[in-house]
Amino acid sequence: MAVYLDNNATTALDERVLEAMLPYMGQVTGNPASVHRFGRLQKDAIEQARESVASLVGGRAEQVVFTSGGTESNNLLLQGFASKITKVQSGCRIAVSASEHMSLIEPAEHLPSAVSLEWLAVDRNGHIAPSAITSMMADAAEEDTTLISVMSANNETGVIQNLSPLVEAVSKNIEDGRCFFHTDASQAAGKIDVDFIGSGVHAMTLSAHKLYGPVGVGALLIDKRLPICKRQFGGSQEKNLRAGTENVPAIVGFGRAAELAKAELQERSRQQRILRDALEAGLKTIGAVDIFAEKVDRLPNTVQFGVKGFDGETLLMQLDRKAIAVSSGSACTSGKTEPSHVLKAMNVADELAHSAIRVSFGKSNTMSDVDVLLTALQDIIEINQHSPVMAANV
Amino acid sequence: MSEKKPIYLDYSATTPIDERVITEMLKYMGPESNFGNPASRSHCFGWVAEAAVETARKQVADLVGANPKEIIFTSGATESDNLAIKGIAHFNHKRGKHIVTCKTEHKAVLDSCRQLEREGYEVTYLDPMSNGLIDLKVLEGALRDDTTLVSIMHVNNEIGVIQDIEAIGKICRERKITFHVDGAQSAGKVDIDLENLPVDLMSFSAHKIYGPKGIGALYVQRKPRVRLEAQMHGGGHERGMRSGTLATHQIVGMGEAFRIAKEEMAVENERLLKLRNKLYDGVKDMEEVYINGDVDHRIAGNINISFNYVEGESLLMALKDLAISSGSACTSASLEPSYVLRALGRNDELAHSSIRFTMGRYTTEEEIDRTIKYVRTAVEKLRELSPLWDMYKAGIDLNSIEWAAH
Amino acid sequence: MAYGEKVLDHYENPRNVGSFENEGNIGTGMVGAPACGDVMKLQIKVSDEGVIEDAVFKTYGCGSAIASSSLLTEWVKGKTLDEAQAIKNTEIAEELALPPVKIHCSVLAEDAINAAIADYRQKNN
């Protein structure tokens, strides 16, 4: 049986979630937009799921817009904000942290030229300093409206960004309506406490399949102060912010997954932290291993490390041969030879970044998975160190 | 209330998922399944998922005579239409900013076009003929040197008429204009051979042919290569045209649904045609009953009937044992008469009194028998209540009356 | 669209459906337009004392329009013309618990009774 340690890429659908979805794949059919009974049943199920998703992240149901996933949520946010602001002719600035997920960086880079794009640098621990945000806002022209996007927790390193001080740093601009805040919480939700309203942000991205829900559904939470308009046209679904027939079974699954995540968050996090800590302790005995952002608060399930002198892709392939599934970083950039932009942003040397491995635990992993991984890593490193080529490199 | 479950006759809004499709999907759902992210290149979980996606891509391509490489998965036909229309318009904006479509298109096409108008493009909305079909001469007349895109649906969702996309495509090819077809209502119901059809882009939906919701596809022709601007970025999935984690189980479901459709379409169409004729034969002797849309160029499972002097919403209410719609599902909560019927030149009363019956894989003859009974009773009851019916019976021409609009 | 219980009741069992022959003591109001999806015809039979003895309706329209006119015929019976004229659409909407998109049905009913009264008064002036 293979060992799956890539839960930040995608998680296995929880059986209880599947059970909730099945009726909506089977006997309960209908288009939620239809007025007949079949349609209304679908509509009710969507609204219940909306409550559950909102409740997981401290939002209100009416703030939740369902999408086809985190990527669409991020695209909708950036394009929808830019389009709304540029429509009223004032300057539009979008500031994005350098360690964001590709589903935020790439749409940011494709925004119309009328939008000025700023990058927020992170320190070597992957954090953004409140002062960086204050000074960025100080540069803004009078007529500019700015959207700042900083992820709640990084998918590769697991580094958690405390949002409150960042929001605080620009609170005056927020009050003036000149500055808005978004956070991609795809990785954070279900793993740590997330508080949409309490953190003071105006928008939040979520993805179901990162928390044992189905692939193909996500959400964008939107505070009504945020200027935004729709990007996908052809129907008034989702409060007229996202056209298209709702993916009802997936939305129902998302709702159920959110309920379970809320109920089990503490226990999941406690268990996975034990595994993660054991793995980190074991890695240190192997030597030649650098854990990224080791000293700072990270997601309890995630560790990313470099093995000096090794090529990450080779390591991954050797691990795969031993039936262990891990990754170097993001699945979406998997297969690319460039080192991770996240590690680059944290000023990790290219050579070390090239050797990166990310292990992300899930709720079904056990201590024996940690042992299997550690033994395998040890074997691979030893064998390679005996090869003359590798020895010369180390 | 009736003891029986309502009869579902709204297959054009959405279809139940075929059990065989669910069986395939379940192989990719749950902890014991092949649940990897198809973008994960570093382990077998990802590879298995990727292989499943590629099998499904071939199944989708096979039904419509395309090459699997020409199939881009999306979150549904709405996204496919948005991607095709905005993607082509944006990519070609230097060449021209004129688009031609038809007034009876689905909202996903019309609203995408309206968005382009807001961005400074010019759109010509063609009037169809009274049978719902496009007059090719009118289409030709609308094309200009700066026209970059023509978007015409294959099968209309409300009235089920089938456009001659081959003839329209030829006209576009001669002028080197990109031709997009919304095929959400035609795949699995009408033969489609994209290898030989002059079509550049075609949108598909899974949940209209017994597959899951939340998944669709866009056919993007490779030879000659059609280029468009992506509308969603972040990871460069689907050859850069559509980013975002692929929902493996949904794609697998769509593949299986398309595979089944290819196998069973011919037999199914024959059966549906019989049911449709039975339904129409059962009501056509009533006075003032009209079929909307061409009868011959029409898919087997659709019939759209106007019961004159009866208002559509009250008719739906009287037919609570039938799950049907007046107009398309996406507009049925609004009070407007169907814009499709208006575009055919139907007068307001007829547009208001239309009901769409769409039959499908699980519709039975017995259900049609009951449907006929329900419809006759409801129409008779409402006509009894209708002042317009009285006037018609008294020989008063409704057009001669000056109505106070409110 | 989910309908309220009272709307359903009036829709399923409409009260006072019918027509009166157009005589001197009859007032007829027909309002709305086919283009808008509803036409309401309301008729009242008025006694010599100016009391509405009977009322009938026919309505082409949605369930809420049918219910609004059905309810109104019940209400106006036994009322004087002035009393009937004082009935406001909001009372109808409230009684039937009409959702906002259906408020216009109650407006139409108010228009119908006013038109019927006006027609009667014109004839008997």
> pLDDT digit string (tens) for A262-321?
999 999 999 999 999 999 999 999 878 999 999 999 999 999 999 988 888 888 889 999
Chain C residue numbers touching B349 (CB-CB < 8 A): 34-35
Instruction: Check CB contact under 8 Å for B335 and C19.
Output: no
- Enumerate neighbours of C (3 or more CB pairs within 8 A): B
Measured torsion, CA atoms of residues A13, A19, A20, A25, in degrees rounded to the nearest 10: 90
Q: Which residue of C has its CA nearest to B406?
A: C32
- CATH numeric code, A3-10+265-380: 3.90.1150.10
Q: Which residue of C has its CA nearest to B310?
A: C60
Rounded to whole angstroms, how far apart are CA atoms A87 and A113?
13
A173: pLDDT strictly greater than 70: yes
For residue C106, the model assigns a pLDDT of 93
User: Residues 123..162 of B with a Cβ closer than 8 Å to A: which?
Assistant: none
pLDDT classification of A27: cutoffs 50, 70, 90 = low
Chain C residue numbers touching B310 (CB-CB < 8 A): 60
User: Residues 329..388 of A with a Cβ closer than 8 Å to B: which?
Assistant: 331-335, 364
**Cβ count within 10 A of residue A394:** 12
Shortest Cα distance from A245 to chain B (angstroms)?
7
Among B43, B110, B325, beta carbon nearest to A320? B43
Instruction: Check CB contact under 8 Å for C34 and B348.
Output: yes
For residue B329, the model assigns a pLDDT of 46
Rounded to whole angstroms, how far apart are CA atoms A271 and A261?
14
Residues C66-82: pLDDT tens digits? 999 999 999 999 999 99
Tell me phi and psi for residue C45, to 5 degrees.
-110, 120
Mean pLDDT is lowest, of A135-139, A213-217, A387-391, C118-122, for A387-391
A240: pLDDT strictly greater than 70: yes
Chain C residue numbers touching B309 (CB-CB < 8 A): 60
Rounded to whole angstroms, how far apart are CA atoms C93 and B71?
52
Among B314, B389, B403, beta carbon nearest to C66? B314
DSSP A237-254: HHHHTS-S---HHHHHHH
Beta-carbon contacts of residue B270 (< 8 Å; ≥ 6 apart): B300
Asked if B345 reaches chain A (Cβ–Cβ under 8 Å), the answer is no
Asked if B38 reaches chain C (Cβ–Cβ under 8 Å), the answer is no
Among B10, B15, B107, beta carbon nearest to A234? B107
Asked if C2 reaches chain B (Cβ–Cβ under 8 Å), the answer is no
For residue B330, the model assigns a pLDDT of 45
Chain C residue numbers touching B405 (CB-CB < 8 A): 33, 35-36
Residues B80-118: pLDDT tens digits? 999 999 999 999 999 999 999 999 999 999 999 999 999
Asked if A323 reaches chain B (Cβ–Cβ under 8 Å), the answer is yes
Residues A336-359: pLDDT tens digits? 567 889 999 999 988 889 899 999
Buried b (16+ CB within 10 A) or exposed e, B15-33: bbbbeebbebbbbbbbbeb
Q: Residue A384 belongs to what H/E stretch?
A: helix A367-386
- Enumerate neighbours of B (3 or more CB pairs within 8 A): A, C
**Catalytic residue check, A332:** yes
Rounded to whole angstroms, how far apart are CA atoms B214 and B216?
7
Whether the domain at A3-10+265-380 and the domain at A15-259 fall into the same CATH topology: no
- Which of B311, B325, B400 would best serve as a mutation to test chain C binding (most C beta carbons within 10 A)? B311
Q: Which residue of B has its CA nearest to A320?
A: B43
Instruction: Check CB contact under 8 Å for B385 and C60.
Output: yes
Contact C112, C41 (CB under 8 A): yes
Rounded to whole angstroms, how far apart are CA atoms A168 and A165?
5
Mean pLDDT is lowest, of A51-60, A347-356, C110-119, for A347-356
Instruction: Check CB contact under 8 Å for B387 and C39.
Output: yes
Asked if A229 reaches chain B (Cβ–Cβ under 8 Å), the answer is no
Q: Which residue of C has its CA nearest to B314?
A: C62
Class of domain A15-259: alpha beta
Low-confidence ranges of chain B (pLDDT < 70): 1-4, 327-336, 405-406
Shortest Cα distance from B101 to chain A (angstroms)?
14
A386: pLDDT strictly greater than 90: no
- Enumerate neighbours of A (3 or more CB pairs within 8 A): B
- What residue spans define the domains of chain A? 3-10+265-380, 15-259
Asked if B17 reaches chain A (Cβ–Cβ under 8 Å), the answer is yes
Asked if C119 reaches chain B (Cβ–Cβ under 8 Å), the answer is no
Chain B residue numbers touching A249 (CB-CB < 8 A): 212-214
Mean pLDDT is lowest, of A195-199, A295-299, C30-34, for C30-34
CA B106 and chain centroid, separation: 7
Buried b (16+ CB within 10 A) or exposed e, A330-348: bbbbbeeeebbbbbebbeb
Instruction: Check CB contact under 8 Å for B388 and C1.
Output: no
If you count them, how many residues does chain C have? 125
Contact A52, A255 (CB under 8 A): yes
Instruction: Check CB contact under 8 Å for B232 and A34.
Output: no
Shortest Cα distance from A13 to chain B (angstroms)?
4
For residue A392, the model assigns a pLDDT of 46
For residue C99, the model assigns a pLDDT of 87
